[in-house]
Amino acid sequence: MADVGVPYAGRAGSSALVRLLAASAAFVVLLVATALYVRVGWWRMESACGADGPDSVRTSVSYGWSWQPLGFRCTYGNGDTETALWF
């Protein structure tokens, strides 16, 4: 006769493994999405800020990331800045 009240011991281990695999997959997806956002965002920032304009202000541009305000930041030769999360 089988013990009906005793849970299957292997079930707890497989449940923990499934949770670990799901968390690992979510972490990898988040890491890839962040890297993709930074790479494509930086490329778009360089394209938007480095575009030739009618004045010579855009001949000297430095690029970077800003925490305040949050986003990609272009700093022009005359000191003007432009910050956006997505250019």
Is 8 contained in some domain? no
In a domain, residue 6? The reply is no
- pTM value is 0.69
Neighbouring C-alpha atoms within 13 Å toward the C-beta of 9: 1
Q: How many separate domains does the chain show?
A: 1
Helix (H, G, I), strand (E, B) or coil at 84: strand
Q: Is residue 7 part of a domain?
A: no
Q: Does the residue 1 lie in any domain?
A: no
SS3 68: coil
The per-residue pLDDT string of the chain (87 residues; one tens digit each, 9 = 90 and over) reads: 555 555 555 566 689 899 999 999 999 999 999 999 999 999 999 998 886 655 555 678 899 999 999 999 999 888 899 999 988
On whether residue 22 sits in a domain, the answer given is yes
**CA 87, CA 85: separation in Å to the nearest integer?**
7
Q: Which two tokens stand for residue 65?
A: 């990331």
Answer whether residue 53 is part of any domain: yes
Residue 40 lies in domain: 13-84
